[in-house]
Structure 1
């Protein structure tokens, strides 16, 4: 029973204060892929802690000593002995409601996001079905004066570029833009965005989940910039972003001009620092942080259960 308030407090602390700590760490600019893992680990750890808090009440340690077919009766008896008949039933109902609410909200949010993203993707593919294709570049060419480039997942992925962009960009800039969009497809960034939207729909009143879609959208752009910079010139990519800054890509698409363009351009133009030995060791050690965050609620529940044994 002691584990429940500890886990609940842990979940709420993550949900309310973790976004500020991650933002202050400046991890997004230094290591966007690690920052993505940290954000999702925080979200998963918070949800897991909430669920385990409810289960720690409904399934107290003493209730599991009997046979499996009598677990419910044992749980109610254990709670009634500690808190009285009315109090025990009330606590059991509240804990069961917490677990059920978490599971149902997540399931409903996941189904809603899956339906909406599938419909949006199908709409994109229908609109691009009959546009011109450049087989050499592997792109669909959309007749529009605004400089826009974006990718659409599904069916192997499709990159759309407007005629306005083709007229404006030189060869090196176009190569940088296409490398950026291919990085989105290769990294399956649309799935990361769908996961962020699922968390937002399910628990958007909590600051951690309210910030999740915006933070992940920014981070996948930085990650795609880094991937493109390994294949093309950083300067060319920065110039192309400036061309796309004022253009409006489809809201649901992963576009080359998405995110905070000014911050992205400044980051690309700044010479990447070579990490020293200490920084390299620290970066590798930080890779364990997401796994540790997810494991924390489980370890906490297990340790407290052992202490009660």
Structure 2
């Protein structure tokens, strides 16, 4: 019971203060991929802590040797002996919700978001199937005077430019924009954004998950910027972003105008200063520690049960 309380307390603290730590970290803009990993490490740690808390609630204090079929009954019997019938029912119900309900909520929401995204992208892909292909970049050209560029993942990926973008941007800027979209496709950024969106929908009451989708969406844009800047140059990419900053793109498409475009342009034009190898190692160690913390907290009752078995 104590370990379960510690795990739930850890999850509460992580869910409230975890996003604040990442939002205030100065290294995030210089290492967007590591920042994405940190967001998912905290989310994974929270989920692990909640599920393990439910498991610890019903861990029997005595060794069960009746096989897997009678294990659940053995757990309920011990709970009834220690907490009474109503206490056993209440704790057993909470354990079921935490162990099975929380993961089911996460997986169900992920499946729903994936189906929704698939339908919308298939519809948009059919709409773009008859568009003219720009010979140099290989992108589909949409007849629209507004300046925009976006990509659709899946089925090999599709990059689209509006006729306004083709007319306004010069060749280096077009190459920079297309390189940005190719970076999205190559990095499978749509999957990262989709998981973050599903997590935000499933657990929107928890600040860690409520803030996760917007931050991850901005971070994948910065990650694509870094890849495109190596191919086309930082200033060229920044100039092209100025033209597409206010672009309105279809839902479920990943666009060069995504995230906080002003902050991205300032990042491209400014001096970059990130943590050195020691700092990166510290951040990675923090991510691993976050994932290991729930397991370490649970180790106490498991060790106690093992000790009782040995005695």
Q: What TM bracket, shorter-length normalisation?
A: over 0.9
RMSD of aligned Cα (Å): 1.7
2:288 to 282, 286, 291: 291
The 2-side partners of 1:99 and 1:282 are apart by: 35
Q: TM-score, normalised by structure 2?
A: 0.93
The 1-side partners of 2:252 and 2:95 are apart by: 38
- 2:208 alignment counterpart: 208
Give SS of 1:97's match: helix
* TM-superposed deviation, 1:279: 1.8
- 2:158 alignment counterpart: 158
- 2:54 alignment counterpart: 54
* TM-superposed deviation, 1:292: 2.9
Counterpart contact for 2:30–2:272, Cα < 8 Å: no
* TM-superposed deviation, 1:66: 4.5
| 1:8 is aligned to 2:16 | no
Residues 87-145 of structure 1 show CA distances to partners (whole Å, capped at 9, x for unaligned) of 12221122212323202211320221111011011012101100001243121111111
Counterpart contact for 2:60–2:74, Cα < 8 Å: no
- 2:105 alignment counterpart: 105
| 1:86 is aligned to 2:86 | yes
Q: What runs of 5+ residues in structure 2 fail to find an aligned partner?
A: none
The 2-side partners of 1:183 and 1:307 are apart by: 50
* TM-superposed deviation, 1:290: 2.7
Give SS of 2:232's match: coil
Map 1:1-309 → 2, pairs under 5 A: 1-62=1-62, 64=64, 66-273=66-273, 279-307=276-304, 309=307
The 2-side partners of 1:65 and 1:90 are apart by: 25
The 1-side partners of 2:64 and 2:40 are apart by: 32
Counterpart contact for 2:120–2:251, Cα < 8 Å: no
The 2-side partners of 1:158 and 1:209 are apart by: 30
The 2-side partners of 1:272 and 1:182 are apart by: 23
